[in-house]
Structure 1
Amino acid sequence: MPLELKDIPRAKTLTKKEFMETYFKPQKPVVIEECTLGWPAYSKWNLEYMRKVARNKIVPLYDDRPVHHKDGFNEPHARMNMSDYIDLLKTTPTKYRIFLWNILKEIPELQDDFDYPDLGLRFMKGLPMLFFGGKDSHTFMHYDIDLANIFHFHFEGQKDCILFSRKETKYLYKIPHSLITHESIDFSNPDFEKWPALKHATGYRTSLNHGEVLYMPEGYWHYMKYLTPGFSMSLRAMARNPRNVTRAIYNILIMRHYDGLMRKLKGQKWIDWKNEEAIHETNKRIRA
């Protein structure tokens, strides 16, 4: 039995009015297929081009290992020369991913290859981030700490994306004091006997191809799985819903620091308790 997932709507292009009225105001996701056709990035951006411009830069790498109490917030699991990493992507399956790599800081010339879409939102222009992954590598299901509106542009190959709105959180086994669901869930092929609440969740799915952009509304849960080696860029605009702004401030100023403190004080017992609490509280809700 698969997850109950609707196909994310698609449009070749959208005007500012069409985007705001049909997708932003009701907070619904959409894939815009031809948003990047006029960008130099559309024809230039591939793994070999990234190898050329990144040269010998050392990049942070992440995998899908279980969260450990000694892990810092967004602390990488390994580091590697970019050329070596791209060789790894192209020659063998790997779970190592690049996550939240600020291209304006690392490779400023890449900003000449793209534009900020004129869709009625004010983008945070200092935070264009790159994400890389090898075949079958994936993220945990998570939402972003600032609950921003995210435009996720994909380049080279194909990746699967599964989204859930905030109202589905009660079914997703969210880890307390965290931004992720239980790390043992395989959202591409979930075990409903082990995770029965997932049967009640309704989400969205799509596969992104080269040059396509996925709009993810404020605070949406998202899971990404690379079907082939490739990379994406996210541009973000601040949340506008006052509740989401308040939640983002709490996450940044309180939640992550409280979680870090409890990891230091209780060690792995804190992580284990959070995982158990996610299961207990979620299953209790569906039995009520």
Structure 2
Amino acid sequence: MKLSLQDIPRVKEISKEDFLKDYFIPQRPVVFEDLSADWPATKKWNLDYFQEKAGDIVVPLYDSKPATGKKKSHGPAMKIKMREYIEILKAGPTDLRMFFFNLLQNVPELLNDFKYPDLGVKFFKKLPVLFVGGEGGKVVMHYDMDLANNFHFNFVGEKRVILFPPEETKFLYKVPYSIVSMEIIDMDNPDFNTYPALAKAKGFEVRLKHGEALFIPSKWWHFIKYESPCLSLTLRSLPISAKKILEVLNNVILVRNFDNLMRRLKGQRWIDYKNECAIKNTHKNARIE
């Protein structure tokens, strides 16, 4: 048995009017095949280029191990220079990932290698962020805490991306007081006997290659597997509706801080409790006995 997934629509050229009408306003994902075709980044960005331009910058790296005990949910596994990290990527499979590397703060000269596309969308230009991962690395199923609309440009390698719309949340074993699915679930090869509700979820997938970009709508769940070492850039458009802004504030100020407080107070008992609730709530909502 496999997840119920359909291919994400693809476009070669699209006007901003059609993008807004067909994808942005109705909040549907789409793959742009040539949106960055004329960017210097599409030709220049590779692992060697970043070793040269940002090799001395110390970057936090994250692995696939779930946080346990009293650890914060988003703590790095280590910090090393980017030059050393890229050597690890070149050496073979690794689950070490670098995410949310802010180009504006760290390597501002690289801002000249790309431009914000004219899609009728207001981008948050203070946060162009880089995501890098090694072959075999996986990112747990989650949605973004700030509920941004993401435009994810891939420049190195190939990655598999699985998306689920917000209305499928009831089948995805969402962990209470968080924006993630249960970290033990491998969406690349899910155990349907243990997590049967996943069989009811309807989603989308794509294998994103060099030069392609993916629009991930606000609050859409996404899981990523690095089929090879990958380097990608995400440009973000923040929510403007009052309802979503309030939800973002709740996520950032209340939910995250409460969760970290409970981790410090109760440690692993809190994590186990949340996972038990995730299973119980999902099976109840999915009507699984």
* TM > 0.5 fold call: yes
Alignment TM-score, normalising by the size of structure 2? 0.97
Q: Which runs of 5+ in 1 are unaligned?
A: none
Asked if residue 230 in structure 1 is aligned to residue 248 in structure 2, the reply is no
Secondary structure of residue in 2 paired with 1:141 = strand
Secondary structure of residue in 1 paired with 2:272 = helix
Secondary structure of residue in 2 paired with 1:139 = strand
Secondary structure of residue in 1 paired with 2:139 = coil
2:199 maps to a residue whose letter is K
Deviation at 1:258, TM superposition (A): 1.0
Q: Where does 1:10-49 land on structure 2 (aligned, <5 Å)?
A: 10-49=10-49
> Partner of 2:282 in structure 1?
282
2:134 maps to a residue whose letter is G
Secondary structure of residue in 1 paired with 2:141 = coil
Q: Where does 1:1-288 land on structure 2 (aligned, <5 Å)?
A: 1-72=1-72, 74-287=74-287
For the 8 Å contact 1:219–1:244, the answer to whether it is kept is no
For the 8 Å contact 1:218–1:244, the answer to whether it is kept is no
Deviation at 1:81, TM superposition (A): 1.5
Secondary structure of residue in 1 paired with 2:101 = strand
2:178 maps to a residue whose letter is S
Deviation at 1:267, TM superposition (A): 1.6
Deviation at 1:158, TM superposition (A): 0.5
1:215 maps to a residue whose letter is F
Distance (whole Å) between structure 2 residues aligned to residue 14 and residue 244 of structure 1: 27
Deviation at 1:241, TM superposition (A): 4.3
Once the two structures are superposed, residues 178-224 of structure 1 have per-residue CA deviations (whole angstroms, 9 ceiling, x without a partner) of 11100111111111111100011000100111111100011110011
Distance (whole Å) between structure 1 residues aligned to residue 61 and residue 106 of structure 2: 15
Distance (whole Å) between structure 2 residues aligned to residue 264 and residue 173 of structure 1: 23
1:7 maps to a residue whose letter is D
Distance (whole Å) between structure 2 residues aligned to residue 211 and residue 195 of structure 1: 35
Distance (whole Å) between structure 2 residues aligned to residue 259 and residue 271 of structure 1: 9
Secondary structure of residue in 2 paired with 1:140 = strand
- Cα 1:232–1:65 change in 2 (3 A) is same
Secondary structure of residue in 2 paired with 1:66 = coil
- Cα 1:258–1:47 change in 2 (3 A) is same
Distance (whole Å) between structure 2 residues aligned to residue 282 and residue 85 of structure 1: 38
For the 8 Å contact 2:93–2:136, the answer to whether it is kept is yes
Once the two structures are superposed, residues 226-275 of structure 1 have per-residue CA deviations (whole angstroms, 9 ceiling, x without a partner) of 11111111110012444332211210121111111111221221111111
Once the two structures are superposed, residues 25-53 of structure 1 have per-residue CA deviations (whole angstroms, 9 ceiling, x without a partner) of 11000000101111110100011101110
1:118 maps to a residue whose letter is D
Percent of aligned positions with the same letter in both sequences?
47
- Cα 1:226–1:214 change in 2 (3 A) is same
How many residues matched? 288
For the 8 Å contact 1:141–1:222, the answer to whether it is kept is yes
Q: Which runs of 5+ in 2 are unaligned?
A: none
Secondary structure of residue in 1 paired with 2:232 = strand
Query: How much is the aligned-residue C-alpha RMSD, in angstroms?
Result: 1.2
For the 8 Å contact 2:39–2:115, the answer to whether it is kept is yes
1:237 maps to a residue whose letter is S
Once the two structures are superposed, residues 144-184 of structure 1 have per-residue CA deviations (whole angstroms, 9 ceiling, x without a partner) of 01111000011111000000011000000000001110011
For the 8 Å contact 2:72–2:263, the answer to whether it is kept is no
Deviation at 1:73, TM superposition (A): 5.1
For the 8 Å contact 2:71–2:264, the answer to whether it is kept is no
